[in-house]
């Protein structure tokens, strides 16, 4: 079931959490809402769920499969919602947690006991928690709790699944496992899913579509490839990883021909720069090698210009050996491919 | 400022529960208390003054406030020691001692009253030794102060305990390792941290003492001008059908309660602001 | 764990034992002796007198009225406590601090003043006195007055325990329940209430102990009519003033047992809660 929001705004006092947001989540897709804290992503998720009301602006709407659900209460939207800290019912067992939604159905729609039990067991098998039915939430690990929350949300056959920072409260290694598992699960059940995250790696790895938010507005919507390779703004580029700025800063640039006067900024990611011992292009910048981190698949190099500007470069181990690079040495950084933005951050 | 009601929340029942609570409080608590100013307003100033400032009433104020102050002071000193011992030291019976602290809360005041009187009367367990030393406790202001010490005991201990538990022992150890002597450490490091809670507990015990009736009337002896507390005087006026006089005196006590409540709230606010939510 | 670490903290031996001695002496003189005194005085004239005192018809009728009073005041204040805790703990609104402060008001009002308030409202000379008399309704010097003042003095107990407990719960679980299609009532009964059950039990126990033990306020409105408007604490006073000390202490011992039961129940509830919390931490740590 697709999700569409139109003209959604939300202010808390004088703070504008959402500023006229519109977006569409296609049916069956796994979509990430990505942004720094305070960008309004959780508020948007809660408005879709019906947990918050959007400010009444003409034309505002939340639609599931083309149907306006704005007037439906939280219980009538059939939204599966996984809270950041799971919000498991502390006084209930795992089984009771998962069964809660089914047992809350009106009497005529409620399945008989045996069917509920079968359904719950099926879900627990799906989230790989068979055998833990009688545990209480506090007897589970973080990863297990998260899967209980997911099973509980799925029990009501939700039309859409909303997850608020689903991996936020987990350890790094559990996080990676659960991320892969969630992707496989989504391929299996194909329910339209929207999750909030502030971790760009998580969003890019997991989602079919990434929605990048900033200060209550949607900055860009696209596939992970699109947002990574064709960032719509300098903010998107910077949010998705380290960048090197080559023009537009104060002081003397390396290239007098650079169109600094019209406010152009040239940015390149660490893997998009080249390091050499001599200037290879007009745009080459002289810098001192401040730090070399070679414990990893590539060599990460931090370089400092005379005015303190930092540059980050990722090069292969082989290339580094060829250059014979050592800390303290002077080298040149040259952007090989780059993104250009006007001073106010828009792409050109 | 615009009055703002519940920030639109999905949880139901806000209007119902707030409406019910306010109506309940209004009818059962505020309306009855509002009757005092109403009654007092029917008197002229002379009558009012006579009711609240006659020599007998003044004597009752002196006794009530003085004994409450003495009780609260005793609790501040011994309550501090007790709270310290209960949180810092392990000794046989510590858990039991800790549980005992709540007894004055749990015991009906009439029961405390007769028990204390029996203890401190001339041939009581404690009274006979005091008598031998030439001290009369029951039916004197001292007895009133003793009863108010009993009734106020849990307040200081229970307000200090959480603060003492939260107080980082490293703070003391650090001060100790800097060469500060034990006493100096206590008065320079620990005591200032405890002060707001100590004052809060003191004020709570004092406020309770001022309004106390049941545990005091038995041990006080209730001699006018000598051992008659203000609460009892209110009751006496009522029994003499001096409704207006009783109302005027009750109004004075009520105003005092409000002032004390305000002071306690300010102290608590001060305490939590300085030492976090643990208070 | 944290407790153990602190207990080991410094304090040279003589000072330490001196302080322990002072504290123990203080608690013994002020708490243990009065408590022991109640029971010893009660049994001073033998178990037969004790039994006769507490099964005396006046004592039994006082007991009945006391139970009845608690039976009226506790449920009403329980419902109020639940309602006020729900709106205070789960919602934000202006005037909340004022409301919470007002809840405590009955604690800071002298019981005599509380009783007097109801006399001035409903007594013969009171505001509604003439009207009540015309309709032949008695409140003061009658059972309804006892109910009213008892409700007044016990208003804060349940609310004070429930508000922090419900605040600590947050609202995520309720939101989750509503999202799963549960009604407001079902959410309250199945999610909110089980989470605060210990606070609720404790609040009810305290409320009940005070409702049964209230003396000053009840004394003002009761009129001390034997067999009709006497509660147990009033019976204690009457017996004591009649120099029937053993009987007075016998009845007092019942009230004392009630108070002690409340303390024991509370420490049991606290221990259960702590054990659950400890298990929860242990489970989290063993991850």
The predicted-structure confidence for B235-247, as pLDDT tens digits, reads as follows 999 888 888 999 9
Confidence at B177, pLDDT banded by 50, 70, 90: low
- For residue A276, the distance in angstroms to the closest alpha carbon of chain C comes to 48
- For residue A22, the distance in angstroms to the closest alpha carbon of chain C comes to 23
The predicted-structure confidence for B153-175, as pLDDT tens digits, reads as follows 999 999 999 888 887 777 777 76
Which residue is closest to A51 within chain C, CA to CA?
C175
Residues 114-143 of B with CB under 8 A from C: 114-116, 118-119, 125-126
Which site among C1, C34, C178 would you substitute to test the B interface, given the most B Cβ atoms closer than 10 Å to its Cβ? Answer: C34
Q: B6 touching A, CB under 8 A?
A: no
Residue A346: both structure tokens together: 């828009």
Picking from B125, B149, B235, the nearest residue to C33 by CB comes out as B125
From the number of C-beta atoms within 10 Å of its C-beta (0-12, 13-18, 19+), residue A93 rates as middle
Please answer yes or no on whether C173 and A89 come within 8 Å at the CB atom.
yes
Quote the CA–CA distance of C11 and C137 in Å, as a whole number: 65
A53 DSSP assignment:
P
Please answer yes or no on whether C172 and A83 come within 8 Å at the CB atom.
yes
Q: What is the predicted ipTM?
A: 0.88
Q: A52 touching B, CB under 8 A?
A: yes
Higher-pLDDT residue of B47 and C80 is C80
The predicted-structure confidence for C220-251, as pLDDT tens digits, reads as follows 998 777 777 899 999 999 999 999 999 999 99
Taking contacts as CB-CB distances below 8 angstroms, the residues of chain A near B8 are: 52-53
- For residue A52, the distance in angstroms to the closest alpha carbon of chain B comes to 7
Picking from C182, C195, C279, the nearest residue to A138 by CB comes out as C279
The predicted-structure confidence for A201-257, as pLDDT tens digits, reads as follows 999 999 999 999 999 999 999 999 999 999 999 899 999 988 888 864 433 444 444
A37: left (phi over 0), alpha (psi -120 to 50) or beta: beta
From the number of C-beta atoms within 10 Å of its C-beta (0-12, 13-18, 19+), residue A54 rates as buried
Which site among A83, A138, A162 would you substitute to test the C interface, given the most C Cβ atoms closer than 10 Å to its Cβ? Answer: A138
Taking contacts as CB-CB distances below 8 angstroms, the residues of chain B near A52 are: 8, 10
Section C141-167 average pLDDT: 94
Quote the CA–CA distance of B118 and B120 in Å, as a whole number: 6
Domains annotated on chain B, with CATH: 52-278 (1.10.3720.10)
Contact of A70 with A77, CB cutoff 8 Å: no
The predicted-structure confidence for B59-112, as pLDDT tens digits, reads as follows 999 999 999 999 999 999 999 999 999 998 888 888 889 988 989 988 999 999
Residues 168-197 of B with CB under 8 A from A: none
Strands (E), chain C: none
Quote the CA–CA distance of C192 and C177 in Å, as a whole number: 10
**Alpha carbon of residue B142 to chain centroid:** 17
What is the share, in percent, of chain C residues with pLDDT greater than 70?
92
Chunked in runs of 10, what are the mean pLDDT values of chain A (348 residues)?
A: 92 90 93 92 94 89 91 89 93 95 92 95 93 92 92 93 89 85 90 93 93 94 94 91 70 44 75 89 87 90 90 91 89 87 65
CA geometry: angle A328, A333, A334, nearest 5 deg: 170
Confidence at B205, pLDDT banded by 50, 70, 90: very high
Please answer yes or no on whether B13 and C214 come within 8 Å at the CB atom.
no
Confidence at B16, pLDDT banded by 50, 70, 90: very high
Q: C40 touching B, CB under 8 A?
A: no
Single pTM value for the model: 0.86
Taking contacts as CB-CB distances below 8 angstroms, the residues of chain C near B171 are: none
For residue A63, what is the enclosing H or E element?
strand A61-64
């Amino acid at each position: 079931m697709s999700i569409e929001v139109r003209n959604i705004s939300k202010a808390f006092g004088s703070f504008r959490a959402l500023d006229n947001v519109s977006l569409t989540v296609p049916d069956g897709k796994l979509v990430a809402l990505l942004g720094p804290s305070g960008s309004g992503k959780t508020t948007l998720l809660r408005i879709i769920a019906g947990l918050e009301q959007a400010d009444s602006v003409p034309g505002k709407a939340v639609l599931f499969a083309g149907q306006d659900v704005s007037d439906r209460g939280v219980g009538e939207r059939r939204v599966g919602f996984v809270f950041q800290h799971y919000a498991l019912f502390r006084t209930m067992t795992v089984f009771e947690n998962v069964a809660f939604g089914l047992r809350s159905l009106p009497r005529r729609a409620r399945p008989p006991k045996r069917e509920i039990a079968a359904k719950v067991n099926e879900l627990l098998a799906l989230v790989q928690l068979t055998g833990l039915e009688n545990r209480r939430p506090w007897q589970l690990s973080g990863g297990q709790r998260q899967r209980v929350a997911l099973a509980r949300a799925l029990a009501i056959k939700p039309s859409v699944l909303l997850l608020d920072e689903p991996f936020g409260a987990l350890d790094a290694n559990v996080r990676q496992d659960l991320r892969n598992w969630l992707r496989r699960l989504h391929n299996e059940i194909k329910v339209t899913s929207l999750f909030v995250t502030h971790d760009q790696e998580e969003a890019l790895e997991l989602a079919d579509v990434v929605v990048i938010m900033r200060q209550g507005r949607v900055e860009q919507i696209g596939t992970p490839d699109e947002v990574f390779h064709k960032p719509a703004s300098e903010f998107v580029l910077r949010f998705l990883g380290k960048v090197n700025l080559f023009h537009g800063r104060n002081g003397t640039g390396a290239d007098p021909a650079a169109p600094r006067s019209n406010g152009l900024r040239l940015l390149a990611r660490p893997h998009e720069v080249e390091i050499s011992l001599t200037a290879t292009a007009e745009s080459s910048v002289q810098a001192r090698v401040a730090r070399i981190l070679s414990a990893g698949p590539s060599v990460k190099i931090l370089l400092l210009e005379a005015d303190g500007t930092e540059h980050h470069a990722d090069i292969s181990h082989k290339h580094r050996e060829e250059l014979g690079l050592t800390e303290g040495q002077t080298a040149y950084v040259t952007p090989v491919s780059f993104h250009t933005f006007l001073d106010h951050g828009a792409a050109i | 400022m615009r009055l703002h009601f519940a920030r639109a929340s999905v949880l139901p029942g806000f209007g119902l529960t707030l409406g019910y609570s306010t109506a309940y409080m209004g009818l059962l608590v505020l309306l009855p208390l509002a009757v005092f100013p109403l009654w007092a307003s029917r008197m002229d100033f002379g009558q009012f003054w006579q009711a609240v400032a006659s020599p007998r009433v003044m004597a009752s104020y002196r006794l009530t406030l003085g004994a409450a102050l003495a009780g609260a002071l005793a609790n501040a000193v011994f309550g501090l020691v007790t709270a310290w011992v209960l949180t810092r030291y392990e000794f046989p019976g510590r858990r039991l001692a800790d549980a005992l602290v709540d007894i004055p809360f749990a015991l009906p005041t009439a029961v405390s009253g007769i028990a204390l009187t029996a203890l401190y009367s001339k041939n009581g367990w404690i009274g006979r030794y005091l008598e031998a030393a030439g001290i009369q406790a029951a039916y004197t202001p001292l007895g009133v102060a003793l009863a108010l010490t009993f009734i106020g005991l849990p307040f200081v201990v229970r307000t200090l305990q959480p603060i003492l538990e939260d107080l980082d022992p490293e703070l003391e150890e650090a001060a100790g390792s800097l060469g500060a002597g034990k006493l100096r450490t206590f008065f320079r490091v620990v005591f200032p941290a405890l002060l707001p809670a100590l004052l809060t507990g003191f004020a709570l015990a004092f406020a309770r003492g001022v309004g106390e009736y049941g545990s005091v009337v038995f041990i006080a002896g209730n001699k006018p001008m000598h051992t008659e507390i203000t609460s009892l005087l209110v009751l006496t006026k009522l029994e003499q059908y001096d409704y207006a006089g009783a109302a005027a005196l009750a109004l004075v006590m009520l105003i005092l309660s409000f002032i004390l409540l305000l002071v306690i709230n300010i102290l608590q606010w001060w305490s939590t602001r300085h030492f976090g939510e643990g208070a | 764990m944290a407790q153990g670490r602190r207990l080991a903290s410094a304090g040279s031996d003589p000072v330490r034992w001196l302080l322990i001695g002072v504290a123990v002496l203080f608690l013994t003189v002020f708490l243990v002796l009065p408590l022991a005194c109640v029971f010893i005085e009660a049994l001073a004239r033998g178990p037969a007198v004790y039994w006769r005192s507490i099964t005396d018809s006046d004592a039994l009728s006082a007991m009945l009225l006391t139970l009845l009073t608690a039976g009226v005041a506790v449920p009403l204040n329980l419902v109020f406590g639940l309602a006020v805790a729900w709106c205070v703990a789960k919602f934000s609104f202006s005037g909340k601090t004022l409301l919470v402060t007002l809840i405590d008001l009955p604690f800071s009002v002298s019981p005599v003043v509380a009783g007097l308030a109801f006399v001035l409202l409903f007594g013969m000379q009171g505001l509604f006195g003439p009207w009540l008399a015309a309709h032949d309704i008695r409140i003061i010097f009658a059972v309804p007055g006892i109910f009213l003042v008892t409700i007044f003095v016990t208003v804060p107990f349940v609310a004070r325990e429930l508000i922090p407990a419900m605040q600590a719960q947050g609202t995520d679980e309720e939101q989750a329940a509503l999202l799963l299609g549960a009604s407001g009532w079902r959410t309250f009964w199945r999610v909110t209430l089980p989470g605060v059950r210990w606070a609720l039990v404790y609040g009810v126990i305290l409320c009940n102990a005070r409702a049964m033990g209230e003396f000053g306020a009840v004394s003002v409105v009761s009129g001390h009519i034997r067999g009709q408007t006497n509660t147990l604490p009033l019976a204690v006073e009457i017996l004591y003033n009649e120099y029937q000390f053993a009987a007075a202490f016998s009845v007092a011992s019942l009230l004392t047992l009630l108070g002690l039961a409340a303390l024991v129940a509370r420490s049991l509830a606290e221990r259960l809660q702590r054990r659950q919390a400890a298990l929860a931490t242990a489970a989290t740590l063993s991850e």
